[in-house]
Structure formats: C-alpha cells, structure tokens
Amino acid sequence: MPIQIADTYRNSDFAQLQTGLLFNLPVPGPEFEQLPEGISLCMIVKNEERFLKECLDSVKDVVDEICIVDTGSTDRTVEIAQSYGAKIKFAEWRNDFGWARNQALDMATKRWTLVLDADEELDKGSIQLVRSLRTTPAELTSIYLSIVNFIDDSAGEGTMSHRLIRLFPTNPLLRFRGVIHECLSNGNNAEIKAVLAPITILHKGYTGEMLTVREKNARNRPLIERAYDEDSDDAFYMFNFGNSAICSGDFEKGCEVLEKMLAVPGRTKLYFPLAYLLLTQTYCETMGEDERALEKVDEGIRRFPNDAGLVFTKAQVLRKMDRWDDAQELLEQVLTLREHMAYSVMTDEEIFEWKVYYQLAGVHQHKKEFDKAIQYVDMALANKPNSVALQSTKAGYLEHLGRYYDAELAYRRIVETDPARGRAELVNYLLRRKRYAQAIAIVENEIEPGTNGEVVAQLNVAAARAMIEANYGDPLPFLEAALRSAPGNGSALSLMETVLTERGDKAGLARLHADELLTPCSRPGDFARRSHRLLADNRNEEARFAAEQGLQLDPHNPELRFNAAMASFRLGDESRSLHELSRVEGTSPEVFATAMQMRAALLLRQGEPDDALASLEQRLATLDDNVDAVLASARTLVGGGARSEARTLLESRVEKDPLIALELASLLLQDGDIAGAGRVAAAALK
C-alpha cells in the first residue's frame, strides 16, 4: 500500500522535517542554500516516440519542470516532449552518457532532481511519496530507488529489480561520471551519501524484443570498452567490461577481468554478488567447469551469506553435479532470504515468484516423487498462472503418473493460454496416447491463419509421425507443409530424409540435401540438422560454425555439442574436441553415450587412461550397464593400451553376466594370470 503524506501543515517547518524523517534524510545545515521548492525531471532522449508519452504521463502530476536533452531525434520525440511543456536542449551525441546526463542537470532549477529514461515510468504507488519531496529541505544526501525491469524468461514475462540513485538534491556538486553505466558522484570527491526509499520505477527496455529493436547491446559495447581502457583499475568499469565481454562471447577475457576486480583490495561494492553470479554461471553453463564454478559461488556466499541469487545459483550447480539432496537443502534456504534482498543492488524477483518452486519440483521429479513435484509446480503456477512452460511441466507429471484424464485437461488448458503452442503440446500428447485420428484432425482443421511458422511446422511434423505410426496414409504432404512454413526445420528435414530413404527415392534425397543447405535456420534443432548434414558432406569448418551458432541459442543441446566436437576432431583440433565432448550433457542418452565413447578414445590417445575409464563409466551408466556396451568399453580400453583399466571395468561387473566374466577371463589369460582366469571362468560356468 503506498504511503500517504498528509497535506495538513505541509508548509510548516515541522511538516518538512517529518518528510525528511520519512526518507531518513538528514536535516540540512544553514550552509545549504535551498533552491525553489519542486522537482526537476531530467532526461536524455533520441528517437523515443514509442515510450516517451507513457513516461511523461506517469510523472506529469509529480514534477514541476521537465528538462530534456535531445541528441538527434528524427521521429516525433521532440514534438511529444514539447506537448508536455518540456525545456529542450539540442546536443550532438558524444558517445558519453555521463556528459549527456550532466547537460540535462545543468537545466534543472528546482530543489530536487528526478532522472528517468524514456522507456521507464514512475509506478503509480510511488507518486505520493515522490511528490512529498517537493518541499523537503535538501543537502547532498541522495535516494536509491528500485528499478523493476520487465524481462523475458523461460516462463514468460518476468521481472528483475535493481537499485540506483535516481532522486537527489539539485546541486552543482552532484554530477554523473562515466561514458556508459554512468553513476552519480560528488564533486568534492567525497563518497555519495544515499538512503533507500520504497519508490519504484518500471523499466520496459530489457525484453528480448526491445533489445533487438534498439540494438542496445551493440551500441553499449564500444563505450564499455572505452571506459575500461581509460580507467582499467576502476572496479565499476572492470565489472561492466567483464559483463559485456561474457555477453558478447569472450568468456575467457570476461572472467579474467571479473576475477581481477574481486581480488583488488578495498571496500566491497554492492555489485560484487553479481560478479560472483556471472563467474559461476559462465564456469558452469558455458565452460563446463563445475568444480571451478562451485569454488567461485562458495567464495561469493562466504562474503554475502544472505544473497538469495548466490544460494540459488549454487543449488543449480549442485543439481548439475547430481548432488540433489544438497541442492534441495539450498533451495529451501532460498525461501527464507527474500527480505534480505531489499538492499541488494540487483534482485531476480522471479526466483521467489516461481523459479525456486520449479527447481524444487525438478528435485522431486529426479527422486521419482511426482506428487511432491506437482505440489511445487502448483506453487509456481499460483504466481505465474499463464506460464506455458509451467503448465506443460505439470501436464507432463500428470501423464507420467498415469492420470491421463487430468493430463489431457492440463494440455487443453495450455491451448486456452497459448492456442498455437498449446495445440502442439496437445497433438504430441494425443500421439503418445496413440489417438492418431484426433491428433491429425487438429492439424488439419485447427491451425489458424497467422500462426507462427515454426509452430505450424511442429504440428505438421507431429501429424506426419502419426501417419507413419498408424499407417494411415502418406506423410509427405504434412512434411512438405512443414517445410513451406519453416524451410530449415530440422525435425521436418530429418523425418523427410527417413521417409525418402525407406522409399529408395534417391532423386528426392538429392534434392532435399541440396535445397536444405540454402534455407535459413532459426531453432537449435535446425542448426543441429544443418551441422549434421555438413559433416556428412565433410564440410567440417562450416559444420563447426553451424554448431556454434546453434549453441548460442541452446548451450545445453547435446547434439550440437557433439557435432562441434566431431567437426573439431576432423579438423585436427583434438583439444577443442575433448573440451566439447566434456560438455555434452546426458539429456539425450544415445548422443551422450556416443560422446563418452569418443571422448574415452581421445583420452587414450593422449595417454590418460584413468580419465578414459571415468568417461566410459559415464557411458555405461547412461546405458544401464548393457552387456554389449560393457564389452565394447573394455575392448576400447584394451585397444588403447589401458589393460589394467579394462580389468577394473570388467571386474566391477563380472557378476552381471557370464559373457562379461568370460571376457575378463580371456583378458587375464592374455596377461599371463592363468589361475585368475581359471577362477573367473569356473565361476561363470556354474
């Protein structure tokens, strides 16, 4: 509930002191001359017609003057600003945000200054609180506000908040510094004094759509590099440079700079937890160095024990390392930390809204406790009811439990939330239940005009599979429809290749293979198919590039990671191949098993039999110790000269099957251990 400020006696000294106390502001001394009462809104803009009206509408009844610096708008930005009575200064852009901000501050004449960007709005619940400052005496103490950023996340639209000084006394000593990610500084080189207030600004510029439209990342990167070059020992510039380098794909350099920043002696900065998060996520998710990631997040938690983001991230690392009980304990701890994040420089609000419940559901899914998993998904859905991802997860759990009536209802609710994606989910569910006629009928009759091409392709591929499984008719018309909607769709291309191969249609296959290399790829599966085809044609450089493009979209895709490894191996880069193979994850058992077999062979070539054995153990765990796989793994070790490791592998499974025992006996016999071979063979023949 917003705080209401009583107007009674508002001009009295007592009332003004009350307002200062409300913000925990100090009473200014007599040396601080007070400017005229009021609030000056200061902004810099360029081509902001999309958002500017909404921004100014949110503060028109709060501020007393609007001071705008325009750096070269060619749309209706200036016209909109003038309609609100703004004072406008025209200035040529200098690639320096701090300078531009200060140009706007020079225009301010009222006692307090509020800074907004055009894609921001003052939250309605904060209007009265900001308005109360108009008459409050000011010295040099500034005010931190909460910036709530709307972002795209895996469950739909989410929010992430951070704290910035955006409300402060209008004083020539207070000016911004920094060409990018500028921050307020005190001209006397004294540290900025600031308090935190429950005032919220809503920011719409960090959704994927807006970042693409405005090319914000591309614009900012050169400025971040310039700031770092000019002052490479400044912690804030190091943080921004490291963050930017990681986001642009230069992981080694980004991590190097962030590690350097954290090691510099001196006062701990508010953004240090973010640096630990970035390093942990990069080491774990991007570089595949789980132990290093765990060390880094533990270091961060030692320094910031109540930071929910760090605790949550450690749980993610532990899940990846199959330490499920430890991960569960940390996730439950996260639920107790929300109040501590009010003073954090940045908070992922979605952790508390749904992410922690979703992760706990995953823990219970791993433990085969699907009823508990559903309970946690329901908790997430209570806060995120329109999330297709969460609805789909719950439907999948219900299906796994054999609650097919409830599962179908859940899939049909997804159709209500998102008709296109929901139909795709429902069609695949009906196919799994072998209700082919219903699935095909949805594809034939319910695809609406304007449906996303990838969704249309997905539905038609599902219908083609139904035609094949039920032997209803020709699947090719559905596959052709899929490729008309999404020419590079990997699933459609792979299934069409299978159909044409079974029919012996060599001419059709040749056309398919030639045409598909000319079509654009958009999804990770498309790039997986493309890199596979290029490998088949021995175009290894192109195959690796295609795999890398797909990995930018889905770093965890096992097929893309394997294709990148195979291309690197063919190009003679065994070190790169090993690195890629070590990062293939087990979500696709067949791909993972093949990757671990290949990795073991490469490790044997490099004289690392222990690591090769560990890799083969991972392969066998994926294949449930299939006898043929055990024998093949042992022979791989023998062929690589690792006979001792082969014996270790066979001895650990000697009781599983007589064939394994006989293989071990043969190996012992070859090594001259006649007695041992006899004992093993005799036991196997009993």
- From the list 204, 155, 125, the residue with the least C-alpha distance to 350 is 155
Q: Which residues of the chain have pLDDT under 70?
A: 1-22, 152-158, 188-190, 205-219, 228, 342-343, 345, 586-587, 686
- From the list 632, 553, 634, 618, the residue with the least C-alpha distance to 584 is 618
Residue 48 in 3-state DSSP?
Answer: coil
Q: Give the Å distances, CA to CA, from 266 to 126, 263, 269, 320, 656.
A: 36, 9, 9, 34, 60
CATH for 13-210, among 3.90.45.10, 3.90.550.60, 3.90.1200.10, 3.40.640.10?
Answer: 3.90.550.60
Q: What is the pLDDT at residue 6?
A: 39
Q: What is the pLDDT at residue 21?
A: 62
Q: What is the pLDDT at residue 205?
A: 62
- What CATH code would you report for 586-686? 1.25.40
Which residue matches tokens 């508002």? 10
SS (H, E, C) 171-208: CCCEEEECCCCCEEEECCCCCCCEEEEEEEEEECCCCH
Distance CA 361, CA 109 (A): 55
Q: What is the pLDDT at residue 215?
A: 52
Handedness of CA 65, 71, 72, 76 (dihedral sign): negative
Instruction: List pLDDT tens digits, range 193-233.
Output: 888 888 999 998 654 444 344 455 566 777 777 776 777 78
Q: What is the pLDDT at residue 54?
A: 95
- Letter for the amino acid at 335? L
First to last CA, the chain: 79
Alpha helices in 304-418 (DSSP H): 308-320, 324-334, 349-350, 356-366, 370-383, 388-400, 404-417
- From the list 77, 73, 89, the residue with the least C-alpha distance to 53 is 77
Q: Where are the domains of the chain?
A: 13-210, 586-686
344: left (phi over 0), alpha (psi -120 to 50) or beta: beta
pTM of the predicted model as reported, rounded to 2 decimal places: 0.74
Distance CA 244, CA 377 (A): 34
Q: Give the Å distances, CA to CA, from 510 to 475, 517, 537.
A: 19, 11, 12
Q: What is the pLDDT at residue 582?
A: 87
Q: What is the pLDDT at residue 153?
A: 57
